[in-house]
Amino acid sequence: DAKTTQPTSMDCAEGRAANLPCNHSTISGNEYVYWYRQIHSQGPQYIIHGLKNNETNEMASLIITEDRKSSTLILPHATLRDTAVYYCIVRVNYGGSQGNLIFGKGTKLSVKP
Amino acid sequence: GAVVSQHPSWVICKSGTSVKIECRSLDFQATTMFWYRQFPKQSLMLMATSNEGSKATYEQGVEKDKFLINHASLTLSTLTVTSAHPEDSSFYICSARVGTSGFTGELFFGEGSRLTVL
C-alpha cells in the first residue's frame, strides 16, 4: 500500500501558485519524498525529490516539514499544461527491487483559466 | 532528464494472440527496469521488476507465464502479453533507473503503451 495521503483533487487559477500537500507520517529515516505527475494518457514525469531540506528546481519547489511527516509541492506559476495527477511517493534510494515506486491515488490538479 | 522510450504506443489485437512491448533507455544504461499497468481512472500498479541478465521478479498476483519479461541488454526490456484477453486491455508503462548499483536517483518513465484486446 502507498505510504502517503493526498487530497483527491484540487483546483488552481492559471498564473497562481499551486500548493499540493502530502502526508507521510510513517516515513522512515532513509526514505526520500518523491513527486511525479501524470498528464492524461502519458507516462509519469519526474518533478522533484528531497530527504530533509527544501529543494527547488526549474519545475517546482518541495517544502518538507522539520519532522518530515508532511511535505508540500509548490508550482509557483501554474499553467493550463500543469493540469495532471500529482503523485507523492516515499522511497528508499538504493539498488535492487526495493528502489521501485509504489503509487497511491495522487491529487488531480485542475488549472483553470 | 534521461529518456525512456516505449514501442508501440498503442496496439489492438485479437483475443488469443500475443503482443510484445519494448522499453528502451535511450541515453543511459539501466540494469533494472520496472513494468507497471494502469487501468482507466486508477493508479499505476507495479507488475514486475526486470533485471538485466536474470529472471524478472513478479509482484503478487501477476502471472509470470502470461506476462513474459526479457531484459537481454542494458538498454532494452520487453514485456510480452501471451494469449491476450479483453481483461488484459490496459495502459502498460515501463520505467528505468539511472545507474547500475548503489545510489539510484530518480526513475524515468516511458510514454506508455495502450493495449486493446478485442
Q: Which residues of A touch B32 (CB under 8 A)?
A: 95-97, 99
The grid cell for A22 is 502530502
- Distance CA(B103)–CA(B62), nearest Å, equals 28
**Helices and strands in chain B: count of H runs, count of E runs:** 0, 11
B91 touches chain A (CB under 8 A): yes
Q: Which residues of B touch A105 (CB under 8 A)?
A: 43
B112 touches chain A (CB under 8 A): yes
Identity of the residue in B45, B46, B111 whose CB atom sits nearest the CB atom of A42: B111
Q: For the segment B70-98, what is each residue's pLDDT rounded down to a tens digit? A: 988 889 999 999 999 999 999 999 998 77
Q: For the segment A7-40, what is each residue's pLDDT rounded down to a tens digit? A: 999 999 999 999 999 999 999 888 899 999 999 9
B24 touches chain A (CB under 8 A): no
Q: For chains A and B, what is the number of CB pairs under 8 angstroms?
A: 67
How does the average pLDDT of chain A come out, rounded? 91
A 54-113 residues inside an 8 A Cβ radius of B: 87, 93-97, 99-106
Q: Which residues of A touch B109 (CB under 8 A)?
A: 36, 43-46
- What is the least distance, in Å, from the CA of A7 to any CA of chain B? 14
Confidence band, pLDDT 50/70/90 cuts, at residue B103: very low
Task: Identify the CA nearest to B38 among candidates A17, A89, A42.
Answer: A42
In this prediction, residue B104 carries a pLDDT of 45
In this prediction, residue A1 carries a pLDDT of 52
Identity of the residue in B91, B105, B107 whose CB atom sits nearest the CB atom of A101: B107
Secondary structure (3-state) at A44: coil
- Distance CA(B38)–CA(B40), nearest Å, equals 7
- Distance CA(B5)–CA(B33), nearest Å, equals 12
In this prediction, residue A94 carries a pLDDT of 58
In this prediction, residue B105 carries a pLDDT of 56
- What is the least distance, in Å, from the CA of B10 to any CA of chain A? 11
Q: For the segment B27-76, what is each residue's pLDDT rounded down to a tens digit? A: 888 888 999 999 998 999 999 998 888 889 999 999 999 999 998 888 99
- Distance CA(B23)–CA(B5), nearest Å, equals 6
DSSP secondary structure code for residue B59 in this structure: P
